[in-house]
Structures are given as C-alpha cells and as structure tokens.
Amino acid sequence: MAISARFLASSLLAPLAALIAVGVADAATSVSYGRVTAVRTVDVESARSQNVGALVGGGIGLATGSGQSSSNRALRAVGGGLVGRQVGAATGRSQAFEYTVLLGGQQTITMVTDESGLRVGDCVSVERGAFNNLRLVDDARCANRSAPPPPQATRQADSCVAAKEQLLAAETDEAFDRAERRVRLLCD
C-alpha cells in the first residue's frame, strides 16, 4: 500500500503533537475555563525532517561522487548531508501559537497549539488529558468561576482526544484524511 508525499509530509506534525500531548493515552480529560491573556506565534522545528534531509543529501552527494576519488566522494557526501540538513530544517518548520490563559482568576497556564484565531480576552475551554485543546466558549463560562463544567463539555473533550488518537494512528491516506476531518470537527 503506497503512502503519498502528502501523508509523509503530515508526519512533520509529530513535533507539534509532542508539544500538545500531555500525560498518557488513557488519562482522564479535565475541563476548565479561563481567559486568554496573551498570544504569540512560535516556530516549531522537526528534528526528524533535519535528520532525513541529512541522510538523503548525504546519499545524493555520495552518488554524485561516483567514479571520483574516495576523498572527493567523502567531501560530496558531507556537503550533501549539510545541504540536506538545511533543506530538511527549512521544510520541517511550522508555525504554532502560544496562548497564555488565566484559569479561574488564579492560575496561569501556557499552551502551544496549531489552533489559530483566539484573541486576548476570549473565554476558552481548556481541555487537558492525553492531549491538550483550547476551544472558544461563551463568556458566561468564565463569569461563573465556581461552576463545574457540564458533563457535555467533558464528553466533547473526550471526543476530541479520540479523534487526535485516530489521526496519530492513521496508516493510509484515506484513514488520515478521515481522522483529520474528525479532528477539525470535534476539536475546534
């Protein structure tokens, strides 16, 4: 079963998944509410893409040195590896957002996610468990600090976690596309 370049490129999301993953896969999801107090963009780099780039570049450099002296082949392999690593670093960079959220007027947390569109002052649901998620919610949720989250909020958070687990476990393009749609529908 062939895997397309699109699917392979999506594996660059692994570092971002590592940034948003917390706890173990079967951890209970907790939901709390807070206000966004700061937003900034951050760069996320993939060490995996740098290493793959170095290996591919080194291989190409070595292949172009075919028929040359051993020192020439070695120099080409090293040069190709360095160029490949830089290309891998450039393609393995993505942008994410770091949100600072004041929970219940007492505790501040910082969360990095690929979700954009939240602004300072927005009331958000902070879902923490196997994965973290921020979800824009009605301002009334932040006004009543002592009210526990409704059961529906925990069910929504659990559905989001399950969708993210399916995305990470996808082994074909079709499974990946389906899981990606589920994440967009259930986690935003």
Q: pLDDT tens digits, residue range 113-155?
A: 888 889 999 999 898 888 888 889 888 888 877 777 888 888 8
Say yes or no: 12 and 32 in one domain: yes
Say yes or no: 63 and 111 in one domain: no
Number of domains in the chain: 2
Structure tokens at 84: 């490949």
Angstrom distance (rounded) from CA 130 to CA 18: 11
| Predicted pLDDT of residue 95 | 87
Select from 91, 121, 151 the last residue of a domain. 91
Select from 73, 91, 109 the last residue of a domain. 91
Residue type, 113: T
Do β-strands 107-113 and 94-103 pair in parallel, antiparallel, or remain unpaired? antiparallel
By CB atoms closer than 10 A (0-12, 13-18, 19+), residue 174 is exposed
Say yes or no: 37 and 69 in one domain: no
User: Are the beta carbons of 11 and 88 closer than 8 angstroms?
Assistant: no
Domain containing 12 equals 5-46+93-187
Question: Which parts of the chain sit beneath pLDDT 50?
Answer: 1-26
**In this structure, what is the dihedral angle of CA atoms 171, 156, 129, 7, given to the nearest 10 degrees?**
20
Query: Among residues of the chain, what percentage have pLDDT more than 70?
Result: 60
| Predicted pLDDT of residue 155 | 86
Helices 47-64 and 70-91 sit at what angle, rounded to 10 degrees? 150
